[in-house]
Structure 1
Amino acid sequence: MKAHLFSKMSQGLLLLSALLATSCKESSNNFFVPDHEAPSLVSVTPANGETAEENNTILLTFNEYVKAGEGKANFNGEEVELTFKGKTASYAYTALDYNQVCQFSLPKGAVIDFQGNVFEGVSIQFTIRERPQPEARIFDAVVSPDGKGNYTSIQKAIDNVPSKRTEPWLIFVANGTYEEQIIIPEDKPYIHLIGQDVDKTIVKLRINSSTEASATDPDVWKYSYKNLGKTEAAMVSVKATDFYAENISFVNGYGKELQKGPMALAMYTQNDRNSFNNCKFLSYQDTWQTGPKSDNGRLYAQNCWIEGAVDYFYGNGNCFLEHCTFYNMRDGAIIVAPSHKVGTRWGYVLNNCIVDGNELADTERVKLGRPWHNSPIAVYLNTIFNIKIAPEGWTDMGAIPQMFAEYNSKDKEGNTVDLSQRKTQYTYQDEQENPVTGICQAVLTAGEAARYTYENVVREGDNWDPKKYMEQISAPENLKRENGILSWDASKYAICYLVIANDETVQITKETSCNVEEGKTYQVKAVSEYGSLSEPLKE
């Protein structure tokens, strides 16, 4: 009993000491005295005038324990929240531009000690580092249908990619039509597939998902993946993380050429951190399925063309598409059919995209989407409608959407689209065929729309930044030909150059000159460290 009482007393004394330590300062003779002094800054990193990384943390270290007071820190013109821990206050920033000048300020009173004494504040300026010059190298593999590369098949090039990479493996695909199914296995991340020209670098195959013959349509079984001896129905299946494609058209010939169902996937992305730039995806029904392994797996696409008629962008995951065109191929086409599980944070976000279509689609019957299963989310932000869609915008399917909404929709003349008739009530039948109804928001406020950003949807969690893959470096300059030698000035940040004659890639070189033939017209493109191609420099 005495031991227990002594233990309780000891714990109480320790707690009292801790409390005193936060509100008093210890004198030289080990007595605590009231603290009336403001906290002082011991150090700040980055220091004023220093150079810093583009992803970093501003760390302020004080001479005593501190906490948040009144007022907010400001970073590059925006208020930010500090994280307090012991004697430090910090703010983590990401994705700043190279050479960017940054301003951080902490006003008086924003930081106090535990006695309430006010820190006077501080302002610093620092600069983000220059972009590093990557080491010169050529593509890891070249695919060309004429046999002048390492492979004539894209799949063969993928088969020979080393497993479990942590850095990009660059595959250049020359102009041509590659009639093959492509499967990128899960153990081969960081494949960057770079086409020469989006309209001339084409992956194409007639294949559909049917598992049995049709009594009325012989084409269904003829092009069934089962009849073709395939184990998977999608023309392209990406099972790995960190896949990137640029300048390639993915064409399911069954959907595109026959213009009918059943499901005929041109693309099936099945993992986290997949990205696409300047690509085309063409079919009819179910052109592109998104199905990441985790509910919040991410996909990012920029400047892409997605074409179809029935649920032609569908599935789950957090998918952020910018400056893409959704092209509708029939009257009454339906664009998206998401199936997001409860707990998905963002769903489908279509930002600054265009909704377009052929003459058949311009009849005010096209729908933005329908809820496939679970708790779907789809938002259209700043959309331009080149065709008139159905006034209700959405339609029923198999669930009540969590969010089917728009913000700042415009027609092709720039007029605000009337959203007053957009659908807000949904109905479906459950497994027992009982009707289920629910309500869903159809229009976002400016504040609500502002949450759906690249930083939130794409970069959240691990700072994944696929936009850096897509950043074009400057084209070469000063192209000239003398005595059978073509030369040019180096492009900053280039790892190598493509030399193209009459649409045919004739050389990939780390040098700034090469031997050429007479009678041909040449152009040169610079290649970034991620494989992305610059604009051409032409003769």
Structure 2
Amino acid sequence: MLSPSTPSATLTYGKRWLLLCLVLLCSAVCSPLYAYDLVVAKDGSGNYRTVQAAIDAVPTGRTSVYTIFIKNGLYQEKVTVPATKPFVQLIGESVANTILTWNDNANTPNGTGGTLGTGGSGSVTVNATDFSALNITFVNSFGDGSQAVAVSLYADRAAFKNCRFQGNQDTLLNYGNGRQYFKDCYIDGNVDFIFGNAIALFDNCVIYAKTRTTAGSSFITAANTPPGQAYGYVFRNAKIPSNTGGTQYYLGRPWQNSTGSSPLAENKVVFLKTTIGANQILPAGWVTWDAGTDVTKITYAEYQTRYFNGKLVPVTQRVPWSKQLTATDTAQYVKAKLFGAWDPCAVAAGFCTTMNTPDIAVSNFRAAKGATQATIDWNISWAASQIKYELFRSSDNVSFNKIYETTAQNDSTYNFQATDAIPAAGNVYYYYLRASKAGLATHTTPTIQVSSVPTITITGGTNAFAQYSNGPSAPQTYVLAGTNLLGNVTITPPANYEVSANGTTWYTSAMPLVLAQTNNTLANTTISVRLNATAAGTYSGNIVHTSTAAAPVNVAVTGTKVNTPQPVSVPLQWWPLKANNQDSTAVRNASVAASNSTLRNFYVSNGTTVPTIKAYSKAFGQALGASANGDGTWVPSPSSNPNRRYYEEFTVTVSPNSTSVRLDSLVFTAGFYGTANGRLAVLVSRSGFVSDSTELTGGRGPAGSLNSSTGLGTFASPLVLANQTNGVTTVFRYPLNSTTGLTLGAGQKLTARLYFSAGTTSAGRYSLLKDVLFKGERLTVTAANQPLAGTSFQVYPNPTPDGNLMVALGGYAQDVHLTLCNALGQALFSTTVQAGQTQKMLPLGKLASGVYILRAQSQGSTDVRRIVRE
């Protein structure tokens, strides 16, 4: 029986050469042993427990190296080296076990209403010159789904030796037009994972392009070398092994040499004597960014690219605008020409000496659970012959047994795999891997696990319920699922609430809903919940989900029952913004006047800078920029945050001879094209912004109630708008004056202004807006349109998200005939509500999203309701 242990105390090669040089130096000039300036240790045995605390203690304005030794440990912290602290040098105890990690991504909130952006997501950010690091692993553990940088490097004269950079999309950012050197390093990722505008030399590095979780090819580099800069990326003696799956890669694509970029980058990437795995690099080698790429500005080149078997890679299918270099050509790609007077070899003794015996460092140790067995795989950072891999398993994370062993037979095998039966339902297996070779430090990985523990998961939640006198509240939904289940799932709502799995049969606290599992699994199941109290009041509690041996999961609910009818909320005025800026005559209520939106310092797209983005279109709605030529430029204003001089205005005006209206909400669909740095603030005014101005609050977005991470829609916390390159789809909803709404009398108006901004300096970035809708009701009815001969005619929920529209009727002595029409007045279907029947469910689920008209007729009178199908 074995237990996980700390790595062997045997010195790694990186430590050996460094310590040897230091000992020799000290023996010549001093008697005491060499001491680092600071030591970081998680166990408290150093000067500081965190890396950031040590950096904070570094004196400013240094002109010589200041060393920080970091003992083995997993340092989960976001680290920044400020520009005022040059010459910082981080030295890890061992590259396999000195790990700096964090998990921000480009969409992580920055605390002021925006997001961190790509560069700000860096686990480690270096802003100071003359930075160096040895024997350290830098990780961004966010995973897939967004840009997530391990090291954001904005420094000139930065050097790394025997370091690892691990992530997925955008692992290593080389920026600031600086000079950067990487010796004997390992870099992995899966999309554009080495990117930026620096002059960077990667000397004898392993570039591990990982298998993606999604289908399709990907890209290793995304250099955006600025015009006039002689060099970009140079890879010398790099190894690009095959990955564990089928993802193939291009060597690079040209960032910011694309539609809308100005000026176009002059991308430069050169691979010299590269060794690649079979089928890892696509035959074309390189690819353009889009149709706007100017290939005449690109320098993509190779010299003697070979497979691991030593054979030259055939290059006949390489894109014609790439280059195959000669031996003479390669002379220009040496340190002296790339870096000028800066010599990275002087950073530390032996810094540029190649490590003939690399350290043992396992990467990407993970397990994937299948139906009957788990697949455990990993790759080695630096391949070597005779490394022994031993896989250990435990059911209690204490006592481990070895279940698998293999030994690498060459120095070109990077990927390894083992399988194991999955644990029985209700159990967990824990695994760790030990990699060893005589004379080298052993690397023992952290544990991973494969679980068969019963687990209930909930996706989504509920907002406050509102129940009126005419029946239960409108239902809300969430999604329930379960894995590794040992029994059925019981769903128990609190008193006065009901739940349903089909929207028809409802269950209560006295009679809970029970869902049967199949093969220990409950597939995603939509659960509807509603408030159905008998007495007025406020009701709160938890819907409790239980199953044998699974941890209970709760969904909180709260709501209010009132003894009044549900307020009417129908579309009053709608600007589709798909063909022009006029409101829709089909939807406009008879009580309000026609209106076009107006622009202040905004201009619609010229339709040529980005051909797919017209001024108005069905998919993208209205496309706006801040430049009069319509090219989608946002310089000099408004950038980053909204500016009160840049807005689009919408006005609802009650006709002078009409009745009053109540406005309860503003709904719109908004996003950006070409940037994730779009922002929006929303304000309304009853005086045309002469004497009053109100920022809207309490809004909802696609993920529910707006908060600081999504932005509130105020100037201090603007909405964060998604980059939507396939069509704008993100819907936002704002109540007006909370639940009360705003009442406008004859001749009065309400003005809304939408203030867009974009933190970008490139052309071809457009704010997108469509389906701007004011909802509410007419408070009185003119003689020309008498109500039905009854006491109430209501529809809810409206808009209807799931297509089930409830019609509530009261006080009718005769049958009521209902006819549903499209926005053009064409009848789609009809039905009859018998006299005395108070409710009728209309299934609208098969209708496309849009606006419809419901006409009711009884005893010679007619009334209509406008219906929105979401």
Give the alignment's TM-score, normalised by structure 1.
0.54
Aligned to 2:145: 261
**Cα distance change, pair 340–148 in 1 and its aligned pair in 2 (3 A):** same
1:423 to 316, 319, 339: 319
2:336 touches 2:343 (CA, 8 Å); kept in 1? Answer: no
2:226 to 329, 338, 341: 341
1:275 to 141, 159, 169: 159
RMSD of aligned residue pairs (Cα, Å): 3.1
2:65 to 159, 168, 181: 168
Matches within 5 A, 1:379-390: 379-388=270-279, 389-390=281-282
Q: Offset at 1:419?
A: 1.1
Matches within 5 A, 1:14-413: 133=28, 135=30, 137-210=34-107, 232-255=120-143, 260-292=144-176, 295=177, 297-330=178-211, 332-361=217-246, 365-373=248-256, 374-388=265-279, 389-397=281-289, 399=293, 400=295, 401-413=297-309
Question: In 1, distance between residues paired with 2:286 and 2:116?
Answer: 36
What residue identity is the alignment partner of 1:206?
Answer: N
What residue identity is the alignment partner of 2:299?
Answer: M
- Secondary structure of 2:317's partner? coil
1:209 touches 1:224 (CA, 8 Å); kept in 2? Answer: no
Q: Offset at 1:387?
A: 3.6
Aligned to 2:393: none
Question: In 2, distance between residues paired with 1:339 and 1:210?
Answer: 22
2:95 touches 2:163 (CA, 8 Å); kept in 1? Answer: yes
1:165 touches 1:190 (CA, 8 Å); kept in 2? Answer: yes
2:107 touches 2:117 (CA, 8 Å); kept in 1? Answer: no
- Secondary structure of 1:471's partner? coil
Q: Offset at 1:464?
A: 2.5
Question: In 1, distance between residues paired with 2:119 and 2:125?
Answer: 11
Question: In 1, distance between residues paired with 2:244 and 2:441?
Answer: 38
Q: Offset at 1:146?
A: 0.2
Q: Unmatched 5+ residue regions in structure 2? A: 1-24, 257-264, 354-438, 443-870
Q: Offset at 1:139?
A: 0.4
Higher relative helix content:
1
Q: Offset at 1:463?
A: 3.7
Question: In 1, distance between residues paired with 2:197 and 2:118?
Answer: 25
Q: Which has the larger radius of gyration?
A: 2
Give the alignment's TM-score, normalised by structure 2.
0.34
Are positions 1:471 and 2:350 aligned together?
yes
Question: In 2, distance between residues paired with 1:456 and 1:417?
Answer: 28
- Secondary structure of 1:299's partner? strand
Question: Residue by residue, what CA displacement relative to the aligned partner does 1:514-536 show, whole Å, maximum 9, x if unpaired?
Answer: xxxxxxxxxxxxxxxxxxxxx99
- Secondary structure of 2:270's partner? strand
**Cα distance change, pair 225–448 in 1 and its aligned pair in 2 (3 A):** farther
What residue identity is the alignment partner of 2:233?
Answer: Y
Q: Offset at 1:131?
A: 12
2:161 touches 2:184 (CA, 8 Å); kept in 1? Answer: yes
- Secondary structure of 1:254's partner? coil
**Cα distance change, pair 358–405 in 1 and its aligned pair in 2 (3 A):** same
Aligned to 2:322: 441
Percent of counterpart pairs with the same letter? Answer: 33
**Cα distance change, pair 230–468 in 1 and its aligned pair in 2 (3 A):** closer
Aligned to 1:430: none
Question: In 2, distance between residues paired with 1:467 and 1:367?
Answer: 34
Question: In 2, distance between residues paired with 1:163 and 1:272?
Answer: 17
Question: In 2, distance between residues paired with 1:277 and 1:228?
Answer: 28
**Cα distance change, pair 242–228 in 1 and its aligned pair in 2 (3 A):** closer
2:335 touches 2:343 (CA, 8 Å); kept in 1? Answer: no
Question: In 1, distance between residues paired with 2:241 and 2:28?
Answer: 41
Question: In 2, distance between residues paired with 1:229 and 1:444?
Answer: 37
**Cα distance change, pair 470–317 in 1 and its aligned pair in 2 (3 A):** farther
Question: In 2, distance between residues paired with 1:393 and 1:385?
Answer: 12
1:265 touches 1:285 (CA, 8 Å); kept in 2? Answer: yes
**Cα distance change, pair 144–241 in 1 and its aligned pair in 2 (3 A):** same
Q: Offset at 1:359?
A: 1.9
Question: In 1, distance between residues paired with 2:205 and 2:42?
Answer: 29
**Cα distance change, pair 265–134 in 1 and its aligned pair in 2 (3 A):** farther
- Secondary structure of 2:96's partner? coil
Q: Offset at 1:466?
A: 3.1
**Cα distance change, pair 414–190 in 1 and its aligned pair in 2 (3 A):** same
**Cα distance change, pair 192–309 in 1 and its aligned pair in 2 (3 A):** same
1:207 touches 1:225 (CA, 8 Å); kept in 2? Answer: no
Aligned to 1:102: none
